[in-house]
Structures are given as C-alpha cells and as structure tokens.
Structure 1
C-alpha cells in the first residue's frame, strides 16, 4: 500500500554503523532504523544468539511459560522501577496496552464514572507522538496525524509540554466535578515532536500531582529507553519514577518487540483482559536479552552519554560556523536534534542533501534534523557525520530573502 513517502534508496546490507545500497555505495547511518539498531547492523553477537535460538525454538503460544520471556522480564525488573512486564510487538502496541491499563486503573482505583460524559481521561502533551493505531494516534498531540481518521477515540485531553501552569489548570478543570483523570502519558524527551527534552521541575510537579490524586503517571520510552539517553531509562534523566513505562525500538536491536513495564501498584490487568499472539516469543526475547547483555557488558549507556556530549559539541561548532542556517542543538545522549533557522532549508531538504553526501539522517518535524545512530558509534564516525552534514547544509538552496 502507498503508506510511505520513501526516499529513492534501496539498502541491501549493513555492518556496524554502515549500510550499503544496491549500487554498492556506502552510507554512514545516523538513523539506525529510527533508534532501533542499538548494537548496529549485523552485530556478530546478535547473529549468533538468534541463530542458536532459531535452532532451539522460535515461537510458542503465551498459553505456556516461555523461559526467554521470563528472563527478559526479570532483567527489566532488576534494572528498573518496574516489577512486571507485558510483552508485545511494537511501541504502538505497548502504548495501547498502557491506555487499557490506565482506563482499568481509573475504574478500579479512582472510581471514575463509565458513562459517555464522565468516562476516564488521559492527559497527553502537544507535539507528542505515541503511535499510529487509533487510540495511540489519538493520544498523539499533533492534529496532522488525526486528519482523515476522525472520529478519534474519546477520553484524551492535551496541554503544552513542560508547562506546569497549563498542566495544573487542565487537571483542575478535568477534576472539578469529581474523579475523571485516569493517567498522564508523557515522553521524557519528545522525539518525533522535535527532540524536546523534558524539564525536571515540570516532571517532578506532575509526579507530585499524580500521587496526590492517585493518577497513573506513564512514560512513553519507546524512543528514549534502552540506553539511548546516556541512562538505561529516560526517566533516570529526570529523577522521577513513573508508575508504568513503555518500550520498543532499541529493546530488540532490530527485531520487533515492545513492552509495557509496571510497578506492582499499577498492575491492574488480569488473565483474559489483554494478550498478544506474537508478543514475547522466544526469538524476540532472545534479541532483547542479547541487547541487554551487551548494554551491560560494554557499558553502552555511558558510551552513549559520552558520544552524545561529543556530538552535541560538534553540532554547536556547526552552529557557530553557520548561524544563518542553524540556530541550536538539543537532546540527550545519542538522541540529538539540530534546530534549523526559520526561512532556511527545511529538515527534509537537509536529510535529502545529506543522503547525497553518504549520510543518513531523519527529520523530527519540519525544522529539526535528528541523530539517532547505533549506540556503538565511535568518535571518528561522529566527526565524519558532522563534516558530511556541513557539506549537505551548504549544498541546500540558499534561503529566499523575505519581501520587505
């Protein structure tokens, strides 16, 4: 189906931070499947682990115990604030599970009326992105993703990200006539919405208010989790623990897997209330266990923090050299966004020009170019990436002077 606006590029193989097209041209990959290929392409340890698993067992139903699933859930439990995990296949599915969990919590714990007018609400942020399924895209605070799919799922309200006053005002309006808000769903850093890091004071205040009202605080860590920010989990950058958080992307290192991770106090789902045929199958969980093992063995979160600091400095130097084209840098670890000047080239134009220079990047909105390379990337790769980006910026059409 015609659901993708694809670039005219056919990639046929990859190794580490490099990929090759059909014609044999090599590209430095700072996209990594959009924050997916944690260990890079065609990782030796991943290849061996999945080959061994395929010879053993590839899929069984969740009607039975799955040792690999239990091991991966145990690793998440031992290394996070969560105490139990539901596995699925993608970030959207993980967020759908979180939305169901929020509604169940709203009914069971907060006693929210289930009538149409008084049903439970979930509060999310403007410029957020939570997935493409119907409830997840409704949770997404960007109207452009809603267009053509109305009516949207009821039960969502939006507020400006990092705005304490606006959040408090919305919460008080929603709660004025009695319990109404089941959960607050937030990204610790907004990726698709423009690489907007969360504000510590804002998140701490939201945590306090959720505790006060017994509202679930759920973090969407689909893009920021699994070491990308320089910490194992994005919430660790904020000093705030959620009641539940979702994972996908980097958890499988290129193999599809998603997860909803919850504290015991938020664990409301019972047998028969949610399920997945493929979720948590042995192959997916072996991929996740391999990523987990390599994260710890190679201390990749710390490496991501160091490489992120280097990348940010290199990009800031680019801003100093070309202030007419770029105006700033923001992000955490190896999730960095280069903010373009208004009136200059758009992010999509820079991405296309970078491709001509042998560099793969991804837009984050219209004015931000996003770097989400494999966590294994090295300083020489980052320096080369920024050199190629500079050439791409200079190759873009010059800004058109505005009429006086």
Structure 2
C-alpha cells in the first residue's frame, strides 16, 4: 500500500496537538495570511472575517499603515526599557490623551493588564483618599480579563469557583439596576467599574439614565467611575469612545483590542487628580515599548484620518437592516448593539452550530453563548462585504433548518 504524504495542514495540526497547551476548542484549520476583510488558511481557503480577531483588527488584516509603522520603528529602536522615555511613547501619549479627554496614560500589552491597572489605581485612591476603601462594584455577566483580579471582577457565573480562592473585594450587581448598585455601596467601596456594552456577555448596553446615576453615586461618595472600553473603544461603536454616546465621562478609561490593530497593546487613562502611583507601585517590562507605541500611534491616526468611527456607525446600521430582513425568514431575534459591535439571538443551543456552518461557508462569526451570535468585523468593512456576509448567513440558516 502506498502511504499518502500528509498535507501541510495535517502536519501542522499534529504538531499543534503535541506542542500547544490546550486552552480553547479550535477548528481543524490553520490561518496563514490576511488582507483587509479576509483571512486565508494553509489550504488556500478564504474566509470573510466578521470576528476581527475578537474586535482587534480595527484596520483589517495586515494594513499598510501598521506595516509601515512597525518596519520604520523596528529599524531604529525596538525596546529601551520602561526606565526611560522614548519618542513614540511621548507622541502616542499626547495624541491619545488629547482625543480621549483624559490627562495621563499608562500603557500595557493586554486588556486584562489595563483593567488590572485600573483596579490598582482605584485601590490606591481608596487607600489615599477614602480611609482604606478597597471594594469595587462590577456587573453580573461582565468580562474584564483573565488575570486573577480581573477574573474576580468579571461577572461570569461559570467563573465563580474557578481558581478559588478569588481576589476579595468585588461585588457584582445586575446591569441597568441602579437600586441594586446603590444598595451595594458601603464605606469600603472605592469604585464602580462597567463595560458600556457587555461584549463577551452577549452585547448588552447600559442605558443613559443608569449611567447618569452611576456618575452621581461616584460623585456623591468620592468613588472612581471606571469605563472598561477594551472592546468598545477606538471607533467600534460608531464613536471614537462609547462614552460619547452618553455624554458622561469616566474618571478612569481602559482601552485595548482595536488600539493596536493586531499588535499587543492596551492603555489605562485617567485624570490629573488621580495621578496617584508612586515609583514601584505599577509598571511592566513592555510598558510604553517603542514598537507598540509606533503601532498605536499609526492605528489611531488612521482611525481619525479615515473617520472609521463614522464608517462603523454607517455600516453597522446597514448590517442591522439586513439582519432585520433575515429575521423575516429565520429565527433571529433581539438584534442589538452599537456601530460594529452587534449581536442577535438564535434558538437555544444553535449558536455554535450556526457558527460552524458559516465557517464551512467561508464566513467567520462568533457565538459567545449557546443562543447568541456576535458580529465584530474590522472597521473598514464595506457594504459589499456585508452583502456577502448576509448571503452566506442566509445559506447557513437554510442548512440549519434542514439539519
């Protein structure tokens, strides 16, 4: 018998099985390259990407602006230690604080690190200004990261006992329930931390009256109001920052995902009055690293110059209309979200199966829970991309019905 030679993909998957720690269920494909709205695997199959690296690839895949910035910076300075300023750090800090309405910024590499920094700053504020207050109120169904502290802040019920004992000092209350939040406040509370749209939690937004109430509570008691905009920031919701939809500003703002366009980068921003850390209180080996700073500066400039927040609003509206048309023929309900952070519900348990059918049809979508589909495409998405996506989705629903 002639033994067939393994395909490149099969060989890579076999190596992955041996060498890569198992932390996620991944399909049997290996991504090899990307351009704009599309990814290609090692078999040459093309995928229209409406996952966007979990809302990361804000400029699409391998954008020219990011390539050029990284190449240019890599030829001069990659790393200089966080003990020193570097030119891209200063330039990016100035631009980011000016457009965000904040005064000071701490840079990190992941959203969890940015939120960890916010938690530390809140507790520092509690220690210095609030007689040792340390508790932080967050929301049920929220997601703030995967460090022990940010997992403790997260309101996912399935994480409640994971890696116990958790970090103490977090209280979880339901979204848009101001009475529950007010009841949770004690003389130990130093901050309230919220996602303006719960992305991982299924795309559920806070309402304006609720957010206004949170601002009033924090002002009344001298607590920090922290907006976790790791997923909603950088144009994702149709505004550069989601808080602009509400006209209510935070004391602390965290950013990640789309801020680097695919390069690992995050930020924690605050006002001058909360510039409280002493040397050694907070830091990180890669904080303000020149390569990351050049990437962030290039991405933000591109977002601003091309007004991709406006494109997110425009294309998001077009996509919502298309989903409502599909809902006339299929079991789609509760279409929701802002800009290009959108979701809809499907029959219970159908989410993963629908995503798998779409994958086979060349479309990447995300099912954060068994009854929800989340759509977070790159902010460069055009009407023709949405038309193609809706076409594939329609075929997928037909297959789901006939299964």
Bin of the TM-score, shorter chain as denominator length: over 0.9
Pick from 31, 52, 57: which aligns with 2:77? Answer: 57
User: Which runs of 4 or more aligned residues in structure 1 lie more than 3 Å from their structure 2 counterparts after TM superposition?
Assistant: none
Q: TM-score, normalised by structure 1?
A: 0.93
Pick from 358, 373, 377: which aligns with 1:373? Answer: 377
Partner of 1:186: 194
Q: Distance in 1 between matches of 2:329 and 2:118?
A: 45
Identify unmatched segments of 5+ residues in structure 2: 1-20
**Maintained 8 Å contact 1:338/1:368:** yes
Partner of 1:382: 386
Q: How many residues align?
A: 383
Secondary structure class of the residue paired with 1:316:
helix
Partner of 2:11: none
CA RMSD of aligned residues (A): 1.3
Cα distance per residue 1:142-194 (max 9 Å; x no partner): 121243310100000010011112212222xxx2xxx2101101001000001
Partner of 2:218: 210
Identify unmatched segments of 5+ residues in structure 1: 113-118, 400-404
Secondary structure class of the residue paired with 2:253:
strand
Secondary structure class of the residue paired with 1:253:
coil
Q: Distance in 1 between matches of 2:161 and 2:135?
A: 21
Pairwise CA distance, 1:35: 0.5
1:262 aligns with 2:242: no
Cα distance per residue 1:13-40 (max 9 Å; x no partner): 1110011111111110011110001110
Secondary structure class of the residue paired with 1:218:
strand
**Maintained 8 Å contact 2:108/2:114:** yes
What is the correspondence of 1:269-284 to structure 2 with a 5 Å cutoff?
269-284=277-292
Q: Distance in 1 between matches of 2:385 and 2:299?
A: 21
Pairwise CA distance, 1:397: 5.5
Cα distance per residue 1:304-338 (max 9 Å; x no partner): 1101111111111111221xx21121000011102
**Maintained 8 Å contact 1:198/1:238:** no
Cα distance per residue 1:13-71 (max 9 Å; x no partner): 11100111111111100111100011101111211111111111111101111111111
139-148 vs 186-195, which moves further: 139-148
Q: TM-score, normalised by structure 2?
A: 0.93
Pairwise CA distance, 1:270: 1.9
Partner of 1:129: 143
1:24 aligns with 2:54: no
1:101 aligns with 2:121: yes
Q: Distance in 2 between matches of 1:128 and 1:148?
A: 16
